[in-house]
Chains A and B, each alone.
Chain A
C-alpha cells in the first residue's frame, strides 16, 4: 500500500507541475521523471516502492485494453482511407523499429570499442 501511495503521490505531483508550470507532458510522465530523480537522490528508497511497482508493471498491458477498445468509435472515420492508413502505420512503425534498433546497436558497439582503445 505504501508503494502505491508513493506512486500516486508522484503522479499527483506531476499533475500539479503540469497545471502550474505548464509543462507540455502528461502528468504520469512528469511523475516518472520526478520519481527517477528522487530515487537517484536517495529521497525515496527502492524497497518502499518495488513490490507495488512490480505488480503494476507485470500487468501493465491490461491497462491499455480499454483504450484500444476505444478506437472502435473511430472505425467509421478510418474506414474511408483504411488502406493508406494501415499501410502507413505499419510501414512507418517497422521503419522506426528497424532503424532505431540498428543504429543504437551500431552506436553502442562503437562506444564500447572506443572505451577499449
Chain B
C-alpha cells in the first residue's frame, strides 16, 4: 500500500487540484465579478497546501506541467497581436513611447519607494525589474546584483496585483481607450495583466502583449547603467 506522500507526488495531483480550483474560481467569478479568478485559485491552492500539510515540492510536480503551457500560450499572443496590428499602426509611436515612459516610471518609483521606506539594498535591486515577465526579471536581477529568485517572486506578485487593480484603476481615472489600457497593462503587469485583459477584449490583449514584449526589451536596456554604477 503506497503512502499518502506517494499520492501527492503524482503529477496528476497537482494538475487536477489546479484545474479544479481554477474552474471553481471561474464559476465564483460569474456571480461575483469583482473577484479575480487567478487570485481565488492561487489563494485557494496555498490554503489547501498549508491546511493539508502538503509539501510545495510535491505539488510542484504537477504544477510544473500546468506552467509548461505558459510557453505555447505566450507564443499564441501572436494571434491577437497580429489581428490588432492594423488598429495599432497609426499609434505605434504612442505605444512605444508610452511603454518607455512606463518602464522609466517603474524603475524610479521602485527606487524612491524602497529608499523612503528604508528597504534593504537586496530588496531594491531585486525589485527594479518587477514589471517584466518573471524569466526576464530573474536575469535582470542577477545582472544588477539583486537576488534572482526574489526578482522572479516580485515580478509574479506585481503581475497579480496589476491584473487585479489595473482595470479598476484605469476605469476610475478616465483611461478608456484600448490603446492606453493595453499599453498600461502590458507595461505594468506583463503576462498576467495581458491574460486578464484578454478576457475583456482581444484588441486590448493584443496591444498588451505587444507592450509586454517591448518592456522585456526596454527594461534590461535601462538597467545597464545600474550594472556599471554599483
The answer to whether B209 touches A84 (Cβ under 8 A) is no
The CB with the most chain B CB atoms within 10 A, among A14, A27, A74, is that of A74
A81 at interface by CB-CB < 8 Å: yes
Q: With A69-B56, A93-B161, A97-B166 given, is the CB distance from A105 to B187 under 8 Å?
A: no
The answer to whether B191 touches A25 (Cβ under 8 A) is no
The answer to whether A84 touches B123 (Cβ under 8 A) is yes
B175 at interface by CB-CB < 8 Å: yes
The answer to whether B94 touches A104 (Cβ under 8 A) is yes
Q: With A70-B56, A107-B93 given, is the CB distance from A60 to B73 under 8 Å?
A: yes
- Distance in angstroms from B115 CB to nearest chain A CB is 9
Nearest A residue to B170, CB-CB: A101
The answer to whether B195 touches A60 (Cβ under 8 A) is yes
Residues of B within 8 A of A (CB): 14, 18-19, 21-22, 37-38, 41-42, 45-46, 49-50, 56, 59-60, 63-64, 66-67, 69-83, 85, 90-91, 93-95, 97-99, 101-102, 105-106, 109-110, 113-114, 117-120, 123, 127, 130-131, 133-136, 139, 149-150, 153-154, 156-162, 165-166, 169-170, 173, 175, 177, 179-181, 183-185, 187-189, 191-192, 194-196, 198-199, 205, 209, 213, 216-217, 220
